[in-house]
Every structure is written in structure tokens, then in C-alpha cells.
Amino acid sequence: MKAATTTLLRVLRRRHGLLLALVLLVGAASGAAAQRTVDVGVILDRSTWVGNMSWTCMELALDDFYADDSHARYLTRLKLHLRDTGPNAVDAAAAGVDLLKNVGVQAIVGPQTSTQAKFLARLGNKSSVPIISFSADCPSRAGLTPYFIRTAWNDSSQAEAIASLVQKHNWREVVPVFEDDDTNTKFIPDLVDALKQVDTRVSYRCKIHPSATEDAMKAAISSLRHNWTSVFIVRMSHALALKFFQLAKDEGMMGQGFVWITAYGLTDIFDVVGSPALDVMQGVLGVKPHVQDTVKLQNFAQKWHSKYRLENPGTSLSEPTVSGLYAYDTIWALASAAENATYVNLDFGPSVTKNGSTDFDRIDTSKAAEKLRGALLKVNFSGMSGKFRIENTQLASSYYMIINIVGQERREVGFWTPEFGISGSLNMKSDINTIIWPGGDHETVPRGWLLPRNKRLQIGVPANPGFGQLVRYENGPEGQKGFCIKVFDEVVDNLPYQVLYDYHGFDDGHGNSNGTYDELIYKLYLKGFDAVVGDVTILANRSLYVDFTLPYTESGVRMLVPVLDRRQKTAWTFLKPLTADLWLGTGAFVVFTGFVVWCIENHEDFKGTPANQIGSVFYFSFSTLVFAHREKIKNNLSRIVVVVWLFVVLIVQQSYTASLSSILTVEQLQPAVTNLDEVIRKGSYVGYLNDSFLPGLLKSLKIDESKMIALNSAEEYNDALSTGKVAVIVDEIPYLKLFLSKYCHNYTMTGPIYRFDGFGYAFPLGSPLTADITRGILKLASNGKMAELQKDLYGDKSCPDKDDSQTSSSLTLHSFQGLFSISGACSILALILHALITDKGVFSRWLAAIWSKLFRKSNTLQIMMRPVEGQGSRV
């Protein structure tokens, strides 16, 4: 029994072991079936530091992702399939086809260059497989293809950062210097657009071929050296950049006054190349994505350094660049997206083109890859490089850091943020740190332009012999004279830097003009001159071809006309000082005053027959006008009347004398013509300065071209007007003022002022000298020097306009109304008092009545104040 029991137990043990083994095998099989592998292709150039650095970052990213406890239960695993294709785009495309057809990858990571990305993007569109690049730019200017995903910051945001840096320092023109390859196909246009937004001009682009020889690079640098602009934005490969900056340093272009800004893609040359790059790029500013320094990043950098140095001995790279961090985050994002993507049993479906003649035509589409792409676009996490979020198939950009190369250091001087622009802080607007510019200067910000080396400006001077006071050109060192030349010389002498220049006359060799002023301006536009100095009027159509400074003369166009004396001097001119009402009023008061005196005075001088008395009244009255009266004035009332009247006579007499003197001695000069409408109506001729813009103005004013006569000098102006050859001359105010300084008496300026901007100095479009010369003109105007030069030009005496305001008008009765009122009131009052005094009866009764009233009141008051007997006063 015992033996049977033992045998049974042994059988059970064997069966239990078999059962347990069976359970373990089934569990393992089911686990293997639950965990899916997601194949991802990686195309890199392992012969470059970027390829090696990126691959190390990808391997570490894969290890770190699945070593994370939060990812331990993930049912998917990425499997990376590396293809080392080198730099050739065709090889990269072939590797892509191999990965799609033979491996069945659901994503391809890592085309390093834009040329490779251009080919692989077509594969992605064909197969619905996402092509993910952390270093290549987008393959077209028009935009990203749907299946090309760039897990690096958008270059357009970097362009905005560079434009903000240029705007902060008020640089008005820059020159991009870049490698002529697909890498910059989109970046340079984006940069130009961003610079336009801050009113900065890009007039020249310097392209360097990837295989450029040393001579070719020297020629490019020489063209930069002979350009005015001294602000350069550089983006090229590290090897090419190192040669370029070494040659630029040899040419003296890494010294004071120059500005060099490197875009990201080149800025990490200092991490990769080290001292050789730092030595030749002193003072350079660099723009690079800002990565927050965290403990996680520091730990990763240590692991990366150990692994990379082990696999790549002898390298100078001590830490991963931002591109490496992008590669790390890309694998991390793909692993997360693979877990979140919905599983699709059917992987690659049949190709639309079944009988294609090439492998490309026979590529199938992958539904699983399309799901993976959709999940990748939704990934959002904080990675090594910062916030990882895809927007418009590109990694959303954030902040940029600005570095400055000083010695062997990369100094952080500030940041760029969308909120604050260029700032010293990420969280608020503040000043950036001090920048050490090329040449070691840290106090003066480069102005953004330099005169080309050994450059002497060739300045065109118009030939205007008729008005040499403004500008005159003659051969010889002292042959350039005139107001326009003096102002320009004065401005240039006061500039904070030296400008060398030579004047060249725009003439035919005999002192005559070689064309119109418009033709002179157009020659400047064609680079026949570097500037034009002279009596050149600022006009809208001319400003389309050149830049003008602010005007340095009075602006406007007026008419020059002869003047005529409108006042006729006749035998009756002596009556004109007084108007008829004043003559009549004065005569009436003369008679009235004599009558009052005659009434008051009663002695032998005013007695006699009625005829004698009337004669005495008129004689006395009129003799007071010249203070020649001889009659004795005995009555005080008449004396008062006479004194007041003589005062009135004195005022009227002096006014009459002054007015008559003015009429007899001062001419009433008035313009012969007051407006152009009168000239047009009469069909008269109009003169203008030869070779000027005035024919166009006269035509716009409806003046027939056949009625226009060109004149060349002030003397011709005088002859034409004095002989009646022209009725008026239309010209700019400076010319007319010069003419009137010599012929002031017979002519005047009249009519409306047609507004123009006056004379200005012309420079090529975008010339940096324009602003400095303008500031110099304003300085001359404010310190009084311009007024001195104008005084030398026009002389001390000014020629006033001749018009009616310069003539005297006749005196009116209203002007003396107050005096006559006073005199009349005095006379009437004296006459009344005399009548009262003369009529004794009336006057006596009047005095008696007044006295009686006063006495009666006084007597009543005395009675009231008298005391009652025995009682004292009543009051």
C-alpha cells in the first residue's frame, strides 16, 4: 500500500512539472505577442561630427526612455536601423528605399542636409511614412511637405531674433554672407523679410560656394570691404566659415567698426572647433537656441561625454550641441508616439503603381506609419532641449540666446523672446550686458557702415554759370565755389570721421551744362557719381532714384515781375492828404471857432461895420491854422477856446505835412502782374531758368509751351523783363532773392508760393551718408553758421515786396473825431457861459434865487439851533 502511494505521488509530481512548464511557455508566448516592435530607420553621415554626436544621443535616448519606471509597462519598443550614407543625397535616397521596402520602417529619422531631405520627403509622401529631421532645413521655400517633420526650431523665428538685434542697434543696412546650398534656401528669404519689418535694407547678398577656393573667397571678402555696409550676418558650414573668417581677419575686417553676427547652424562652431574658431572670430555675436541648464541635462551630458569619447577618441567636442539634444528628444517623442498610436494589423498596403519600373514607383503605403505620424504631432513633453511640441510640422520655437566671443570665452549678453524682444532677462525687459565689438571696443556701438578703403567720393557739381553765387565749378583745386559748396564743405568738416572727396563738373568742358538737373540725378543713380552737390531741388520723381538730405535753403517758387509807380502827381496833389469829409469838417470848425471867439470878445479888434466884423472872424479863424493871428484875446473864455483849437490845429497840421511829404516823395510801387491767370489770359510770355524742372510746373499750370522762354542768368532776367520780352519770370525763391539783391528797385516777387522742398544734397539710395549730412545741416542751422553763409550770399540789405502796404492813404475825419469833439465842446460851453455872464438881469436873478434858497435854509437852521430861554438848546 505504501509503495503504491509513493508511486502515485511521483507521477503527480511529474505531471505538475509538465503543467508548470506548459503554463510558463504559454505565458512567454502571450507576452511576446503583446509587445510590438516599431521599426525606425536612421540615416546619418557617420563621417561627420554631427552624425556621430546625433547617433550617440539617439542610443542614449532609447536606453533612457525604456529604463524609465513610468515606461516599464509599455507594449511597444522602438528598434533603430542605422544607415551610414555619407553626404550624398542619392545614397540617402537609396537607403530610404531600402528601409521602406526591406525593413518596413514606420519612420525615418536624420537626413542631415536639406538636399537629402528633399529626396526623402518625396519618399515620405509616397509611402505615408514620416521623415523626421533634427538638423536639415525644410526642403522648399513654399513650405514643409506633409510627411516631412522638422524637430528643430523654425528658422523664421531665428530670423526675427537677428532682425531685433539689428533694430536695437539702429543698423539700417546689412549684408547676409552665406553658403550657396540648399541649407539656406528658406532661411535667407525669411531673414530678408524679417529685416524689412524693422526697416533695414539688404542691398547685397554675398554667396560663398561650398567648394570655393581661397582666391574666390578673397574676392568675395574684397567685395565686402569695398561696400559701405559693415554689418554682416553669416551662415555657412564650420569648415568653410573657419577659412572665411581667417581670410577676413587677414583683410583687416575683424577690427573696429565691423559687426559680425552668426546664425545658428554656425554658432556651435565654437563648441565643435574650439580655439581655432575663437582666435579668428573675436567680437563676433552669435544667436543660438536657449536651453535651460537643469540637473537632468547635466547628468545626460556626463553620460554622453563618456560614451562619445569612448566611441570617438581624439574628438574636441566636450558636450552635445543643441542639434544633439534635438536628436535625443526626437527618439523620446517617437517612442512615446509609438505607444500612443493605435495598432494596425495591416502594415504596408499595395502600391497604387503596381507595375512601376523603379523601386520608388513600387513603394507601398503604410497605415501604421500614418498613425504614428498622427500620434507624433500630438506629443507634448519637456525634453532635454526644452518644451517639445510640434506646430505646423515643425518644433515650436521659444527663446534665443545671444553670445559674444571674447578671448576664449562665449559670454552670454542677452536673450530674444517673442514678448520682450532683445533683453537681458527672459522674464522682463532689461538692458543687455556690455558687448565687446571686433577690435576690442566696448564703449562705442559701430554705426553700421564704413567708408570703403581708400575711397574718395566722386561728387557731381551742376554747371550753372548764371548764378555762380550758388554754385560754380572751375578746373583747379580752388575752382569750386558758391553757397552750396560752402555749406557742404562746412558739414563734412564737422563730421566725426574723415570723408575724402573730389568735385567733378557736370559740364561740356567749356563751362556749360552737360544736361538737365534730372539727367545729373540719373547719372548719380547709374553710379556715375557718389553724390551730387549743388542747387538741386528736392522733387518727388527724383527721390525715386536717389536719397536727399533735408533742404538747406528756403523753399518755394514765385513770380518775378516789374514794378510800376501807380501814384499820379498833379497840380491838385496837395488836396490828397485829407479826404473830402476831413477838409469840410476842418473848414466848418475853423468858421465855428472864429464865430465863438467873435461872440465872446467885445473890443475894438472885433468891432466895426458888419463887413469888417465878418472879415475879422474869417481872418482870425484861418490865421490860427498857421498860428499867425494878431487880434488880442482878452476874455478868459475865448482864450480857453483858442488854446484847445490851436492844439487841434497843431495835430491836423503835422499829420497833413507828413502825409503830403509821403505822397510827394515816396513812390507807390506795385507789381505789374499779380497772378499767372492774368498772364495766361493776355497770352504773355513767361521766363524760367534753363535746365530746371520748371517747364513741367508751368505746363501743369496750363501755360502753353510756346509761351515759355528759357533764360540763363540774372542779367538775362533783367533784359527780358525790362524790354518786355517776358511779362513774368517763374523761378525758385533763392534765385529770385539773388536777382533782387542786385536789381531790387525795379522788380519784386509776387503771386502765390508754389511749395517745393528747396535745395538738398543727393546720394545713392540707402547711402548711410545721407543721415549724417542731414544732421550736419541741422547743426549748422542751430549754431548760426547757416545764417552767416546766407548773409554772405544775399547781402546785408533785404529787398522788401512792393505792395499797397508800403504806401500812405488819405487822412479821414474819423481819425480826428475825438479832437474835434473836445474842441467843439469847449467852444459851446464857453459860449453858454459868456451868454449867462453878459445878460446881467438874467444872471442876477439866477444868483439871487440861488442865494435866497441857500440863505433860507441857513436861517431856518439858525432858528432851530437857537436856545429857548431858560431851557438851553432845542437840540
pLDDT digits (tens, 9 = 90+) for 203-249: 889 999 999 999 999 999 999 988 889 999 999 988 899 999 999 99
Residue 542 confidence (pLDDT): 93
Strands 669-671, 762-764: pairing is unpaired
Same domain, 418 and 279: yes
The per-residue pLDDT for 358 is 53
If you ran DSSP here, which 8-state letter would residue 416 be given?
E
CA–CA distance, 675 with 794 (Å, rounded to integer): 26
DSSP class per residue in 276-339: HHHHH-TT-EEEEE-----HHHHHHHHHHHHHHHHHSTT----S--HHHHHHHHHHHHHHHHHH
pLDDT of 348 above 60: no
In a domain, 168, yes or no: yes
Residues 583 and 660 in one domain: yes
- What tens digit of pLDDT does each residue of 125-146 get? 888 899 999 987 655 544 457 8
Domain termination residue (choose one: 649, 665, 681): 665
The verdict on residue 343 lying in a domain is yes
Report d(CA 202, CA 198) in Å as an integer.
12
Q: Is residue 865 part of a domain?
A: no
Q: Is residue 197 part of a domain?
A: yes
> Is there a single domain that holds both residue 50 and residue 146?
yes
Pair (629, 660) in one structural domain: yes
Q: Helix (H, G, I), strand (E, B), or coil: what is residue 818?
A: helix
163 and 288 fall within a common domain: yes
422-466 pLDDT, tens digit per residue, is 999 988 999 999 999 998 888 889 988 888 877 889 999 988 777
Answer yes or no: do 687 and 713 share one domain.
yes
Q: Which residues pair with 107 in a beta bridge?
A: 40
AA identity, residue 578: L
Are 615 and 748 in the same domain? no
Residue located via cell numbers 509821403:
662
- For 536, the domain range is 457-555+762-793
> Would you give the distance in Å from CA 164 to the centre of its chain?
16
Per-residue pLDDT band at 416 (split at 50, 70, 90): very high
Report the pLDDT value the prediction gives residue 479, as an integer from 0 to 100.
62
For 300, the grid coordinates are 545626460
Q: Are residues 141 and 40 in the same domain?
A: yes
Output the pLDDT for position 15: 44
- Intra-chain end-to-end CA distance of the chain, in Å: 174
Mean pLDDT of 54-62: 94
Q: What is the number of structural domains in the chain? A: 5
Read off the CATH number of the domain in which 777 is found.
3.40.190.10
Same domain for 287 and 173: yes
Q: Which residue did the predictor score with more confidence, 800 or 52?
A: 52
Least confident stretch, 192-206, 380-394, 618-632? 618-632
| Pair (504, 589) in one structural domain | no
Chosen domain end from 369, 392, 415: 392
Q: Report yes or no on 12 lying in a domain.
A: no
Residues 172 and 247 in one domain: yes
Whole-number mean pLDDT of the chain? 82
Looking at the DSSP assignment, which residues form a beta bridge with residue 370?
A: none
Give residue-wise pLDDT tens across range 669-709. 667 777 788 888 888 899 999 888 888 888 888 888 899 99
Kindly state whether residue 864 falls inside one of the protein's structural domains. no
In the prediction, which pLDDT does 389 show? Answer: 92
Residue 257 main-chain phi, psi, to 5 deg: 100, -15
CATH number of the domain that 355 lies in? 3.40.50.2300
Please tell me the distance from the alpha carbon of residue 624 to that of residue 645, in angstroms, as a whole number: 8
Three-state secondary structure call for residue 371: helix
User: Helix, strand, coil: what percent of the chain each, to 5?
Assistant: 45, 15, 35
C-alpha cell at 376: 507624433
Kindly state whether residue 856 falls inside one of the protein's structural domains.
no
Q: How confident is the model at residue 361 (pLDDT cuts 50, 70, 90)?
A: low
Q: 9 lies in a domain? A: no
* Geometric angle at alpha carbon 415, from 411 and 419, rounded to 5°: 170
Residues 43 and 134 grouped into a single domain: yes
How do beta strands 148-153 and 107-109 pair?
A: unpaired
Which helix (H) or strand (E) segment holds residue 222: the answer is: helix 214-225
